[in-house]
Structure 1
């Protein structure tokens, strides 16, 4: 799966890492639903850090469609709420 972090770049994520990313995504969704800004910022940061550490960065010059686009760390709770589906930011 190819994930893009807005304003940063794309990462190729192996299927074996999706369960971990979905766990972190659940934390983002829970904090957003609760309106807890502090927990939200912490959870979003943890999710993005995991994408960076588990994923393989794609070269900027390589143009590949993203399967999923994640907000950057400066995205507000209100903005992320608009992006959330019943499955969070990451389906599955």
Structure 2
């Protein structure tokens, strides 16, 4: 999957990295829900660092379509809220509804 970090560039991530990224995304969502600004900042940076470390950077002149766009490190809590979908920032992060 091609992931863009706003203001930085793109990286290619293998699907095997998404469980760890989903865990961080869930943690970020919980901090956003509670209004925990320091926790939000810490977890956003941990998420972006993980993407940078696990991913393979694409050349700056590459024009690959991004399948996932993540906020810049300095993004505010409100800016990130505006980027969320039903799964959080990263697809597949919401827990499924419990079976009855």
Query: Can you give the 5+ residue segments of structure 1 that lack an aligned partner in the other structure?
Result: none
Per-residue deviation, 1:28: 1.1
Q: Who is 1:34 aligned against?
A: 34
Per-residue deviation, 1:81: 1.1
Structure 1: distance between partners of 2:38 and 2:80:
14
Query: Can you give the 5+ residue segments of structure 2 that lack an aligned partner in the other structure?
Result: 93-100
Q: Who is 1:83 aligned against?
A: 83
* TM-score of the two chains, using structure 1 as the length reference: 0.96
Q: Who is 1:73 aligned against?
A: 73
Per-residue deviation, 1:58: 0.3
* TM-score of the two chains, using structure 2 as the length reference: 0.89
Structure of greater Rg: 2
RMSD after superposition: 0.7
Quick check: 1:5–1:69 contact (8 Å CA) kept in 2? Answer: yes
Quick check: 1:3–1:10 contact (8 Å CA) kept in 2? Answer: yes
